[in-house]
Amino acid sequence: MINPYQSDELNPLFIADADTRRALTKEADSLPAVLADSSSAASAVMLGGGYFTPLSGFMNKSDSLLVAERMRTTDGLFWPVPIVNRVMSAPKVEAGDRLTLKDSEVDGNPPLAIQTVDEIEELTEEECRFIAEGIFGTTDDGHPGVQTFLKQGRFVISGQLQVLNYSYFETDFPETFRTAAQIRDEIQQMGWNKVVAFQTRNPMHRAHEELCKIALDRTGADGVVIHMLLGKLKPGDIPAKVRDDSIRKMVELYFPKNSVIISGYGFDMLYAGPREAVLHAIFRQNLGAAYMIVGRDHAGVGDYYGAFDAQEIFRDEVPSDALDIEIFEADHTAWSKKLNEVVMMREAPGHQKDDFILLSGTRVREMLSAGESLPPEFSRPEVAKILMDFYRSNQVP
């Protein structure tokens, strides 16, 4: 199996020993505390699960600025997005003090982690916008990732972390949430050596299903890890539970037995396009995948990124010695009326746009909300029913 990113072994920051964890949880109640917002809490969960190997905690201001500008930390590690703990007001602690991170996403705000403080530094408004520009390629307030980023606190607390739990992800998604180490263990139990990872924040329709099967076939991989985001999304996106149900139904009915691992990770969607695609590749390498599928508009939103910018960044900006995981570059995939099958559109010569069944996300939502059936060439009927039932319950804004 492929090695973790820039390391011979994973570096999960979760305290695995139960007795030690209980003692630290008790200690956390006596320490100065800050409330970790959704972004910081999710980053702590990812650090705890080993997904952000080789990081040992939250970055400082210098690292954040340099990563935003050059995708490098001050010690030279290639990294695409700052991993920071940002708070609204500076706690009264000094370097070397221990600080409790309370979880804003769980009732009662229980301790999530203990951080040993290196520095507490304040970002200026200009520096916040500089970092946003680096991550998202824009400071347009209409971008949902920029909106979230610029609303976060300006005080950056850096330092090493001891993670005490996995927030709401482990309890809300017990069958799906997995750490990088747990997925590596499952890959070994399956007897797989070479694995393809598929990122999703949406339900999977037939195009996604076929794309996974194409990647499996062409890479010679033993299986695919369907790895879904379980954290916060923008308004209007499908909730994780509904996505989980629809993906499980698709895999049960339409994939060969023992060819798929269904799992999820506890992180909020950034909508950062190319930069986020690189972050996705890092934590897919950490879970053991040799390949990651990157298709059209990976991690994108609106018209902020070109259709294949997330592929180009791996060719143009990622150093050749940084990643061991390989990118499986995919085109837009759709049902061909001429060929009567799902194909990558660039591999269908002699086709016009009307020769494919293409539905926008807006049109899909309209049809589901109205109780209209999606074309069977677009979505498996069992998946469409799960989505239709959800939309018709008026749970979507």
Partner residues linked to 343 by β-bridges: 334
Evaluate whether residue 69 is within a structural domain: yes
Q: What does the pLDDT look like over 147-171, one tens digit per residue?
A: 999 999 999 999 999 999 999 999 9
Same domain, 112 and 218: no
Same domain, 148 and 180: no
Please state which of the ranges 33-47, 293-307, 370-384 shows the lowest mean pLDDT. Answer: 370-384
Tell which of 167, 190, 209 closes a domain: 167
Same domain, 75 and 110: yes
Please state which of the ranges 15-19, 140-144, 346-350 shows the lowest mean pLDDT. Answer: 346-350
User: Whole-prediction pTM value?
Assistant: 0.93
pLDDT at 397: 47
Assess whether pLDDT exceeds 90 at residue 142: yes
Same domain, 210 and 105: no
CATH code where residue 358 lies? 3.40.50.620
Evaluate whether residue 3 is within a structural domain: no
> Of 391, 74, 56, 34, whose CA–CA distance to 242 is shortest?
391
* Mean pLDDT value across residues 242-252: 94
pLDDT at 396: 46
Residue type for position 62? S
Q: What does the pLDDT look like over 181-194, one tens digit per residue?
A: 999 999 999 999 99
Assess whether pLDDT exceeds 50 at residue 263: yes
Q: What does the pLDDT look like over 369-396, one tens digit per residue?
A: 788 888 898 899 999 999 988 888 864 4
Evaluate whether residue 2 is within a structural domain: no
Same domain, 149 and 191: no
Tell which of 148, 167, 186 closes a domain: 167
Identify the domain containing residue 316 by its residue range. 174-265+273-392
Evaluate whether residue 397 is within a structural domain: no
- CA geometry: angle 164, 167, 169, nearest 5 deg: 130
Instruction: Specify whether the CB–CB gap between 233 and 271 falls below 8 A.
Output: no
pLDDT at 394: 61
Evaluate whether residue 192 is within a structural domain: yes
Residues with active-site annotation? 201-202
Q: Identify which has the larger pLDDT, 179 or 232.
A: 179
The domain total for the chain is 2
pLDDT at 392: 81
* Mean pLDDT value across residues 128-135: 98
